[in-house]
Amino acid sequence: MELANKLFKGDRVVWLIFMFLCLISVIEVFSATSTIAYKNANHWAPIVRHASFLLCGFVCILILHNVPCRFFSALTLLLPVSLIMLILTPFIGVSANDAHRWLEIFGIQFQPSEFAKLSLIVFVAFMLSRRTLFTEKQRFFIILGMVVITCALIFPENFSTAVMLFGVCFLMLFIGQISIIRLLKLSAVLLILVTAFVAALMFIPKDFAAKYAPDRFVTWQARLSEFKDGKNLDPDADYVITDKNYQVSHAKIAIARGGVLGKMPGHGQQRDFLPQAYSDFIYAIIIEEMGLAGGIFVLLLYIWLLVRVGIIARKCEKLFPKYLIIGCGLLLVVQALANMAVAVNLIPVTGQPMPLVSRGGTSTVISCIYFGLILSVSRFGAHMGEEEELQDETGDAEQALPAGDITDDQPEYAAMENAGTKDKTDYQESVSTV
């Protein structure tokens, strides 16, 4: 127990949520990667890879939660580097799933957008906390400019990530007490842009888009069309699984088969049909194997994390850790909710993995880094989890005090002090005589 107290510092509830999510991730990824395991000579390779990234992320958490949160403002220096990598990615990046989202350096593939998300959240938190250096108007336009640049670079290859990141930053501006009038004006502009973009997706002919629009534009059109067609089905007509509705259909089948308690891990069938069962649609596999109870439990873990982040933020005395933990918590939870919404067909397919649960490399490690930042803020910003340490130190000090020593807080000695007798030795001798 003493080792655990020394190793896992900070908010214990956040640690508990992290452990539960890791446990669910290992179980469900091991089950969902069965199709990959069959294609490898070593059947254990997929889960060993995923467990290795989780272990690497765990080491990152152990390091970060021992670093005072005031030093994390240095992560803003990562933002210019991330922007440069985002600029280079479409030209020299690795293509996968019809998108250039990965860079490869020295044989290591990673997503620059993940580093951009992390550094932008830190930048927004840092700027919101600089109330004495910048006026409210200056902070708003500086933050907005950097957010627009970052999201614009992410947008062409990863639409959903850009939209989600912009939304989280917008919420941080609202929580950071930026003028409501400015935010309403920004909302009006965003509404016009979103309406125009959706109209373009719906009415621009596909042949014209394939010839003149970016490559991903056709993909977005297809996903919107699939989502719209799926909502307008004739209830009396036979349901036919096609290439267009293949993923969504099998996700629905997985959810329907789950029932209340599920088929138990390892007994799911739709993992063999869903192309991204271990990533984009892992929530459907969780419900199939762990039932509605398991699906609700996972949802409540993320909601619990968001509530806990709010409690920690309220206890922070300084602004930077307060906004930093809010940004990290919002990003994790919003991304998780987006993944769940896709699995249950509430929104079109986005390609967002479930933080810490879905199989991944860069996303898994970065998600662990968010947890490390949250735990550091809970420890050094909100001073949570230190009560036990103070009690242990007090207890050790009391045990180390010899039985014959007299302390200033004893009532007899205090009375003698008031009477002008301040020699503890005389008082001790008088006590021993009695």
Check residue 200 and give its pLDDT. Answer: 85
Check residue 237 and give its pLDDT. Answer: 66
pLDDT of 396 strictly over 60:
no
pLDDT band at 189 (very low <50, low <70, confident <90, very high): very high
pLDDT of 393 strictly over 70:
no
pLDDT of 69 strictly over 50:
yes
Q: CB neighbours of 254 closer than 8 A, spacing ≥ 6? A: 268, 269, 270, 271, 274, 281, 284, 285, 287, 288
pLDDT tens per residue across span 27-53: 998 888 877 766 666 778 788 888 999
Check residue 427 and give its pLDDT. Answer: 40
pLDDT of 327 strictly over 80:
yes
Check residue 275 and give its pLDDT. Answer: 79
- Which pTM value belongs to this model? 0.84
From 32-41, 166-175, 177-186, the region with the lowest mean pLDDT: 32-41
Domain boundaries, the chain: 2-230+240-381, 410-434
Q: Is 222 exposed, middle or buried (0-12, 13-18, 19+ CB in 10 A)?
A: middle
Check residue 426 and give its pLDDT. Answer: 46
